[in-house]
Amino acid sequence: DAGVIQSPRHEVTEMGQEVTLRCKPISGHNSLFWYRQTMMRGLELLIYFNNNVPIDDSGMPEDRFSAKMPNASFSTLKIQPSEPRDSAVYFCASSLLLRVGGVGGPTYNEQFFGPGTRLTVL
């Protein structure tokens, strides 16, 4: 298994430009997560999808950020227009959401992370 694949690995762009980050989750996983990591704020959850449907995007900083998951094997995170404060490492993670014991039962989901995209906005 190739694991979670992200592209590009590095992106340097100028303020105001559109940036698109891509993610291919592990085959068979039904949940996908986008995180942002900075020294100041640590690892922040931006948005997550279950079965390709966005469930919670409350972590998306502002309207400049958008994410899509058109199918089970692909997701994008877009920033338009980009700003210097968006500089960070963006991680995609996928997992298999399990529910034990029926509705209301506990869920256990180990997350598998991609290598990340290091974004620098000048």
Partner 1 sequence: SQQGEEDPQALSIQEGENATMNCSYKTSINNLQWYRQNSGRGLVHLILIRSNEREKHSGRLRVTLDTSKKSSSLLITASRAADTASYFCATMNSGYSTLTFGKGTMLLVSP
For partner 1 (CB under 8 A), the number of binding residues is 24
Q: Which position among 19, 79, 88, 93 is part of the footprint of partner 1 (CB under 8 A)?
A: 93
Q: Which two tokens stand for residue 54?
A: 């966005």
Compare residues 18 and 56 and give the one whose CB is closer to partner 1: 56
The least CB distance from residue 28 to partner 1, in Å, is 16
x/- binding map, residues 11-50, to partner 1, per CB under 8 A?
--------------------x-x--------xx-x--x-x
Question: What does 5-30 look like in DSSP terms, one character per residue?
Answer: EEE-SEEEE-TT--EEEEEEPPTT--
- With b meaning 16 or more CB within 10 Å and e meaning fewer, what string describes 24-57? bbbeebbbbbbbbeeeeeeeebbbbbeeeebeee
The 8-class DSSP code of residue 101 comes to S
Compare residues 28 and 42 and give the one whose CB is closer to partner 1: 42
Q: Which position among 91, 94, 119, 121 is part of the footprint of partner 1 (CB under 8 A)?
A: 91
